[in-house]
Structure 1
């Protein structure tokens, strides 16, 4: 058997699937405010006992922490790029309250380069050391972003060595491990990833304990990523930002799996609003230019339209959202899920 859990804002849903992917048992329990692990534990307890070979969970915790500016670590933001990278400062355009919650200091130091060795500028190691020393007692984590780091990450890694020599075993996020070439979105991605590391550690510990309680020690445990793929708990600790969009991605993949419709528009009907997305080949269609908490990021996240559940224009807005999610050719079926699915009229 395979167990799947989706921890939503109102309810936490769990399902047991056989090896063919067919549902054998389901459970729905109220989610516990500010404690997604408690909801997961309760949902697993509500399932019948079974021999489970692996378990996967979709979480809303990381995204909620960013949106509500709670439980975030303080991050030192280091950009390696020199004069060309100073035109737009780090964290430019961030909502002020989120910047205040996260930022422990920023610096831009010489280094970085281009596609060939001749275009590279040496890393200013002294400047990196001075910045790191100034973060002592102020930063819980450091995010390091180098120009063209996805092409060649050596300067990011060297900067990380210098930071660790100054600050000890501080959490480090290197942007080249997370995002594409675009500097600002990749930097934002690295900073939010670093800001979420404490929350991710707590979630990973809690989930491991809940899974061990439900299924015994050692059952492989996975967390849904924003693109609908999965990662292990250790990867969640290292790259918690990949879990942004996890809950909705799980909802979309679950809708496709349980209905046997890998290509569909999905409307997730919550207590106050409806979230409309789409699946192609069983995986969520991804957003271009994704944002989280008002910050542009390079994380993969499901494409999504939110509409109100009630009000004089709610039905028309839902119909328009469904139309916008349709592909250019053909028309996909609509799958309606969520606690309020029964309230959505047919047609």
Structure 2
């Protein structure tokens, strides 16, 4: 029997599971997430191995879904000093790079940006030649000052030649320095794509440190035969090398792990998923077994980006949310006792009224000592509970795209707070092991590759263009660690672009395969 380990870091708890080769859960644990994140991961790993007593030599895969990248951006810590090279002068000079960024974030990555001649038109024609001499001068100037480089060329999703050539020149001049290319990260929209590329470049060291410390932790526990993967935000996995190239893809992988875990536990392909943690709740959509993507620009740490992100609505309601009365009105959250719930909530002998205390007082949950909440006024508890249901109903209403009621799968340790009767929901599904759906989502995940490109149909037929995009998506999935024989195309979208000449079409393809 072979085994997999899945670990997922949430805002409150870090969950770990061991599953066997038939994807049956062997053992699970929950430990508080620590401030440095890593020690919580090690603790969860150690405890789940002790509990499961599986032969460590038979653990074949280890998956980690982590908040390291998100935390680094939010806290402005551990980010690489990054040089930004935008190819597109004079066409793109009106707005300089980093213009709408928060000052403290600009300071954290260093204010090194350069605009050089080159770039392409929206139909792939060259605006001007790439200024290669200027690039070599920039290389000499940034040598030893920066740890990472972001290259952004105008309309590179249509024609990526100048980005690739710029990378070649910088490699010749600077040797092995991490370089992020915008056509591999974002889609159309220069500023948002540039922002996503800069963030990606700034996160390279964080990804490297995270991956290496996870590998070291596994070795320390005697797990030496396992292939190691990080979770990405479309509910699939990527190899360590791929994650170090595209660390931005780990952002928001927690909620997508929960959505994949919910699909796995409930056998639903299409439904809404509500993941209730200790501090927040995320509601997302499960479409064909994978999380639905957001179609709008997403802000990360105060910066607008346009790379793929899951479509989620987050609300400040979790098991540890603090409940109080202000001016005769019940207020819930957004502040939470988080992982300190076992010390601070009333049912555990603390002095803070939390959402969990309300559920226990109303007999909806059996946690801690029920006697300790018997003095909580019943009428207040009912009002608080009604307010919680209203918050959930509003979030569900916002994420739905169809009027008819849809099934809702509940996961996460805090889902005891949710009632069975919710507006807009056809049935509430509470699967077994719902509390560790996120770590299970990591453990059972597959590997994906995605392509988002613009093709001119006056040069090839629509079928040829789709065929090319499919080939590229399959090759991306294989690069990320998928078994070539198992890769399937799970999503194809082609959108004619009427505003571009040359009969242009935007094609997006996603391929998914099993681990090698």
User: Does the alignment reach a TM-score above 0.5?
Assistant: yes
Q: Which residue of 2 aligns with 1:95?
A: 102
- Give CA-to-partner distance per residue, 1:6-49, whole Å, 9 cap, x none: 1112111122333443323222112222133x322222222213
Q: Which residue of 2 aligns with 1:296?
A: 304
Q: In angstroms, what is the RMSD of aligned CA positions?
A: 2.2
Q: Is the 8 A contact 1:6 1:251 kept in 2?
A: no
Residue from 258, 264, 267 that aligns with 2:271? 264
**Greater shift in the superposed pair: 62-71 or 310-319:** 310-319
Instruction: For structure 1, list consecutive stretches of 5 or more residues without a partner in the other structure.
Output: none
How does the TM-score come out when normalised to structure 1?
0.91
Q: Which residue of 2 aligns with 1:2?
A: 4
Q: Is the 8 A contact 2:12 2:33 kept in 1?
A: yes
Give 4+ residue runs of structure 1 displaced > 4 Å after superposition: 115-118
Q: Which residue of 2 aligns with 1:339?
A: 413
How does the TM-score come out when normalised to structure 2?
0.63
- Give CA-to-partner distance per residue, 1:102-124, whole Å, 9 cap, x none: 13311111001136675341111
Change in 2 beyond 3 A, CA 1:117/1:23: closer
Change in 2 beyond 3 A, CA 1:339/1:118: closer
Structure-2 separation of matches of 1:294 and 1:283: 27
Structure-1 separation of matches of 2:122 and 2:277: 47
**Greater shift in the superposed pair: 126-135 or 141-150:** 126-135
Structure-1 separation of matches of 2:313 and 2:124: 44
**Greater shift in the superposed pair: 210-219 or 313-322:** 210-219
Structure-2 separation of matches of 1:109 and 1:277: 41
Q: Which residue of 1 aligns with 2:126?
A: 119
Given the alignment of the two structures, is residue 105 of structure 1 paired with residue 112 of structure 2, yes or no? Answer: yes
Given the alignment of the two structures, is residue 323 of structure 1 paired with residue 323 of structure 2, yes or no? Answer: no
Q: Is the 8 A contact 1:58 1:250 kept in 2?
A: yes
Change in 2 beyond 3 A, CA 1:70/1:231: same
Q: Which residue of 1 aligns with 2:254?
A: 247
Q: Is the 8 A contact 1:266 1:334 kept in 2?
A: yes
Question: Residue 340 of structure 1: SS of its match in structure 2?
Answer: helix
Given the alignment of the two structures, is residue 287 of structure 1 paired with residue 294 of structure 2, yes or no? Answer: yes
Structure-2 separation of matches of 1:30 and 1:208: 21
Q: Which residue of 2 aligns with 1:65?
A: 72
Structure-1 separation of matches of 2:13 and 2:164: 42
Given the alignment of the two structures, is residue 211 of structure 1 paired with residue 218 of structure 2, yes or no? Answer: yes
- Give CA-to-partner distance per residue, 1:288-325, whole Å, 9 cap, x none: 22221121223222112122225264431211102222
Structure-2 separation of matches of 1:291 and 1:88: 19
Cα distance, 1:2 vs. partner?
A: 2.8
Structure-1 separation of matches of 2:160 and 2:310: 28
**Greater shift in the superposed pair: 134-143 or 61-70:** 134-143
Change in 2 beyond 3 A, CA 1:215/1:248: farther
Q: Which residue of 2 aligns with 1:49?
A: 53
- Give CA-to-partner distance per residue, 1:41-87, whole Å, 9 cap, x none: 22222221333332222111101111121111111111001211112
Residue from 12, 19, 25 that aligns with 1:23? 25
